[in-house]
Amino acid sequence: MLHPNNVKSLSRGPNARKNVPVLREIGNKLDKKKIESNLDDSKNHVASDTLDKFRLGIVQAIISSFDGELWGPVNQFKSSLEQLGDIRKNFSDMESRSKKFVDTGMSLSDAKVDETPETQGPATYSFNNLSESTLNAPSEIRNFNSEDKLNLSGIQRQLNRPLQRVERTPEAIGEMQIHHAPDTNTSVVVVADAPHKPPFVLKVFGEVRASNIVT
């Protein structure tokens, strides 16, 4: 949803004036300092709660050793190590998710959200990897105009061969099809990868012609 190209689509066109304030509000909520502060608070809370449990477990293990359960402290130590491993993994997952939120927030900064679509020139939408838009999770570009461009030079470099336009369904690596449906004024751009690998599939609201493709 918040791929940079989708942000660009939402911030231009007839609904841009309504979309821009919403995008900026989302960007403010995903501010880096706010996210990092919340992450630190969550870590501190988990660490404090875990330490309390460890202390209680140690006391219980010592008491059980007095009752003849000599392996109690050893088992408690092993259990604590396992819990620490789980916590480290959870912290790592939290940091990864936080980074994604921060990246999204940065893409919605004021400098990257256009406010006056009426004065905008042609837009360029760039894709550098086939996995950025697939059949199962296609990216969408809205309000595509005749002067706009699709920059697929990054995909061409990834495939290490020129993109070759074909009229049929692409089969060989590097083959590209541009299909336009006049009734709905939508286009689908497909670029084939190697056999048995998912192709690049992009949905565009507007007519895409060969002249709109930059390689």
196 vs 72, which has greater pLDDT? 196
Question: Full-prediction pTM beyond 0.75?
Answer: no
d(CA 190, CA 199): 7
d(CA 82, CA 76): 10
Structure tokens at 33: 């300092």
Nearest CA to 17 out of 114, 139, 88 is that of: 114
Question: How does pLDDT run across 34-79, given as a tens digit for each residue?
Answer: 777 777 777 777 767 776 666 666 656 555 655 555 555 556 666 7
Please tell me the least confidently modeled range out of 37-41, 79-83, 185-189. 79-83
Q: Which residue has the tokens 């942000």?
A: 7
> What tens digit of pLDDT does each residue of 137-182 get?
888 898 898 999 999 999 999 999 999 999 999 999 999 999 999 9
How far is CA 103 from its chain centroid? 8
Chain mean pLDDT for the chain: 78
